[in-house]
Structure 1
Amino acid sequence: MPTQPTPARPAADEKPPPMLARNVVHFVRVLRGAGLPMASARAVDALEALGHIDLGRRDDVRAALAAVLTAAPDERELFDAAFTLFWRDPDWENKLRALLLPKVQGGLPPPRRNNRLADALAARPVACAGAKPPASSEEHALRAHASFSAEERLRQRDFDTLSADEWRTLRHLIRARCLPLASARTRRLKAASHGNHADLRASARQAVRAGGDWTVWKYRARVERKLPLVLLLDISGSMSSYSRAVLYFCHALLQSRERLQVFLFGTRLTHATRALRERDPDVALAQLSAQVADWSGGTRIGETLAQFNRRWARRVLGARATVLLVTDGLDHDPGGALADEMARLHRFAHRVVWLNPLLRYGGFTPKARGVQAMLPHVDAHYPVHNLESLEAFGRSLREAPPGRAPERSGQPGMARSARPATTQGAIRWS
């Protein structure tokens, strides 16, 4: 627990107390571990700011640190929670007495727990450069046996069999290994220091400023833009665990400023992109589960695809967008509109990729009516049941060559879907 700040106000030219400086540096590390963009120079600025205020006033300390360590309004909530937990009141004896007093029922709800902040506070402190480990006179016998690491085992575990602690570890692994998406060159040009396209206007202006000297030339290069993705995620009861893992993956992509639109469907369609822009993925998923009424319910794929084609397809499926359809294909809709809506979606999108957790079974055969209706209208059919398959699919999105979509005459997706390449090796885009 950090040391209580001294009530005396130091002069502007005096150095802050050594213990206070250590606590401020540790507090900056906690904020960095919680996800705030925090450089090492922020600690120096914070110590300088504390030298101009009265350290005995807690509100002034909070305001000074917030002015230096936060740069956006959405960062203030996380800063306030970290300040309350880190700079605790050391008067623990009075708190113990307060616990013995009767509690008033119906008070304010407890503050929302932030898992990223809890992980940052639980991290082990970094040892000082000159510090020596404590001497111990006891002898400990160590017994070790060769085994795979927990991370390696987790990469091959099915999402439906993970515990709560494993889900937490999985979230950090997905965030650490999320790769940027593929990009494609556009027809637009931008100013560049070198290239194959000479900018005559800029070169002429430069020559006029240089007194008629044409030795310095200006160039223009093609603008590269990331290819957009549209995710249609099944949140029915049979897809609960797999949908949660895919949402962690989508949250990491959105935090990386990727061009991604996320839609959830069960018995109705829900646009979830704005909710997933929350910094903490657990908070984002909790908000979605509270807002979406059909979470872990039934599935009506045909009806929700019809709603997407009517309301959203022309808005989000431009500029060579790829549709990622994550579902097991078990449709409960008695109507036969699924095949027609899949064909319409196939005409709107540049590519339609189906991620099916049922492909984890080696003897998978398309016997369900919904699977048979969807297979002829997809360009690729991949598994998504563990971290290894999700990472392979993420690498394929990064390495996907920007080419034209294949011709869609007859049933082009059936031959590719019947024998998915990902069940036996790396993902290949055709």
Structure 2
Amino acid sequence: MTLPDNGLASPQGRLAENITHFARALRRAGLPVGPGRVTDAIRAVAAAGFTEREDFYWTLHAIFVSRPEQRVVFHQCFRLFWRDPQFLEHMMSFMLPQIKGTHEDRRAEVGEKRAAQALLGEARPEPPPLPEGMAEADPQIEMDATATQSAEERLKTLDFEQMSVEEMAEAKRMLARLALPVAPLPSRRLQASALGTRIDPRATIRAALRHGGEVMALHHRKPRIRWPNLVVICDISGSMSQYSRMVLHFLHSVANARGQGRHQGWAKVHGFTFGTRLTNITRHLATRDVDAALRAAGAEAQDWAGGTRIGASLAAFNRDWSRRVLGQGAVVLLITDGLDRDEGSVLAREMERLHLSCRRLIWLNPLLRWEGFVPKATGIRAMLPHVDSFRAGHSIASIEALAAVISDPGDTGEKTRLMRLMSSNKG
């Protein structure tokens, strides 16, 4: 596509005005765009020229995109705003209730729904007319049942990547209200207790000596309880970026929940992120403001939305952090899609070592949102045998399900079924 070359030079040109409207759409879609960037964008386009669509795209991209995770939303907004009629028609379809049988059911790609909402605003197009003769042949139209569900229940099952800006904000508020309770662990150490089942001979004799050697009462003991650590190792590569942000938002609420160590457990919450390298973000989770905490964590993790090296990252964790944070019966949450560039043998070895170092290893994989998921990827096949539980991690409902079973040693999630499937494929 060739753009006009006189938009800024001509007094009648409206390119500067269009760039301003485009910047407002980006701001509604969640990008931090202010008046300064709008001015810079107009000046940059005037200086760089805009005869080719690709040059125009990358000029605006350089001004408005400051973080890797903003690229997808910018790309979708650019496609929609700068006159892609077919894409516009598809975006408008997201704003309509679906009538089964009238058009192909296609879910929005990453960032598309936010782009559509930002550019279309509150406007809703009129529903398309039914095909001629349809009312006579089939007077009862089957409507999408999701339109009748409550907003909160629908949001719980919605994929994190399919959420609009408002839906993401509401989902974060719902995640902040969730708890991740864990049962305390009995230790071999004992403490005095009137309700204990074990007799404390030393305390009994000491008390008897104060009464001339006569035993007046038996003293008892019971095992002390201890709270385990929660260790979260989160994949922040390009395919996991949106899921990781929502999970880390939930992790922050768990780390700062009231009553830690007394009512809902977790002696300490440790957080690690990895893409091509491992980053410890535990100290940032202590910040009470969730936005400031995640902003600081994102600034420290320089490999956000990049490649993935799960094996090398787990090796770094096992070497540098395993003995420090996995004591006292720690529970490890591993959040990744398992799509790794490292060799399967390295990944399997490091997963086995991690599994042996903790009390429970739970793997959350957003790919389980797809029905009929099959572990075909080499990384997934190498990791699956070394986890205690394999569960989905793509929605609020999946996080709620995790909270219900995290203390259940018998829960395996989808691991048993998939291991059986892997065995049958080998045979």
**TM value normalised by structure 2:** 0.56
Deviation for aligned residue 1:233 = 0.6
Indicate the residue corresponding to 1:140 in structure 2. none
Alignment of 1:114-193 (within 5 A): 147-193=148-194
**Contact kept? 2:231, 2:332, Cα under 8 Å:** yes
CA separation in 2, counterparts of 1:343 and 1:400?
18
**Contact kept? 2:161, 2:242, Cα under 8 Å:** yes
CA separation in 1, counterparts of 2:408 and 2:359?
17
Q: What CA deviation, in whole Å up to 9, does each residue of 1:344-378 have, x standing for no partner?
A: 32333333321110000012112222222222322
Alignment of 1:263-302 (within 5 A): 263-302=272-311
Query: Which of 381, 386, 405 is the equivalent residue of 1:396?
Result: 405
What amino acid is aligned across from residue 319 of structure 2 in structure 1?
Answer: R
What amino acid is aligned across from residue 161 of structure 2 in structure 1?
Answer: D
**Contact kept? 1:379, 1:416, Cα under 8 Å:** no
CA separation in 2, counterparts of 1:374 and 1:335?
9
**Which secondary structure does the structure 2 equivalent of 1:279 belong to?**
coil
**Contact kept? 2:275, 2:310, Cα under 8 Å:** yes
Query: Which of 297, 312, 334 is the equivalent residue of 2:321?
Result: 312
Change (3 A) 1:343 1:204: closer
**Which secondary structure does the structure 2 equivalent of 1:283 belong to?**
helix
- Between 308-317 and 294-303, report the one with greater CA deviation: 308-317
**Contact kept? 2:344, 2:378, Cα under 8 Å:** no
**Contact kept? 2:284, 2:293, Cα under 8 Å:** yes
**Which secondary structure does the structure 1 equivalent of 2:348 belong to?**
helix
Q: Aligned-pair RMSD on alpha carbons?
A: 2.9
CA separation in 1, counterparts of 2:410 and 2:378?
33
**Contact kept? 1:182, 1:400, Cα under 8 Å:** no
CA separation in 2, counterparts of 1:349 and 1:416?
23
**Contact kept? 1:380, 1:416, Cα under 8 Å:** no
**Which secondary structure does the structure 2 equivalent of 1:181 belong to?**
coil
Indicate the residue corresponding to 1:260 in structure 2. 269
Query: Which of 338, 346, 362 is the equivalent residue of 1:337?
Result: 346
Unaligned runs of 5+ in 2: 1-146, 261-265, 422-427
Query: Which of 377, 387, 394 is the equivalent residue of 2:386?
Result: 377
CA separation in 1, counterparts of 2:225 and 2:197?
15
**Contact kept? 1:251, 1:276, Cα under 8 Å:** yes
CA separation in 1, counterparts of 2:284 and 2:250?
14
**TM value normalised by structure 1:** 0.56
Change (3 A) 1:335 1:205: closer
Q: Does 1:386 align with 2:387?
A: no
What amino acid is aligned across from residue 157 of structure 1 in structure 2?
Answer: L
**Contact kept? 2:339, 2:377, Cα under 8 Å:** yes
Deviation for aligned residue 1:231 = 1.7
Q: What CA deviation, in whole Å up to 9, does each residue of 1:269-308 have, x standing for no partner?
A: 0111111111122221111111211111111111111111
Q: What CA deviation, in whole Å up to 9, does each residue of 1:203-242 have, x standing for no partner?
A: 4555566787754543322111223332211011111111
**Contact kept? 1:182, 1:399, Cα under 8 Å:** no
Indicate the residue corresponding to 1:97 in structure 2. none
- Between 359-368 and 188-197, report the one with greater CA deviation: 188-197
CA separation in 2, counterparts of 1:379 and 1:393?
13
**Contact kept? 2:344, 2:382, Cα under 8 Å:** no
Indicate the residue corresponding to 1:32 in structure 2. none
Query: Which of 363, 376, 380 is the equivalent residue of 2:372?
Result: 363
Q: What CA deviation, in whole Å up to 9, does each residue of 1:40-67 have, x standing for no partner?
A: xxxxxxxxxxxxxxxxxxxxxxxxxxxx
Q: Does 1:248 align with 2:249?
A: yes
**Which secondary structure does the structure 2 equivalent of 1:274 belong to?**
helix
Q: Which runs of 4+ in 1 moved over 6 A?
A: 210-213
CA separation in 1, counterparts of 2:384 and 2:365?
11
Q: What CA deviation, in whole Å up to 9, does each residue of 1:112-153 have, x standing for no partner?
A: xxxxxxxxxxxxxxxxxxxxxxxxxxxxxxxxxx94332212
**Contact kept? 2:344, 2:379, Cα under 8 Å:** no
- Between 327-336 and 190-199, report the one with greater CA deviation: 327-336
Aligned residues: 266
Indicate the residue corresponding to 1:101 in structure 2. none
Unaligned runs of 5+ in 1: 1-145, 407-412, 421-430
CA separation in 1, counterparts of 2:291 and 2:277?
23
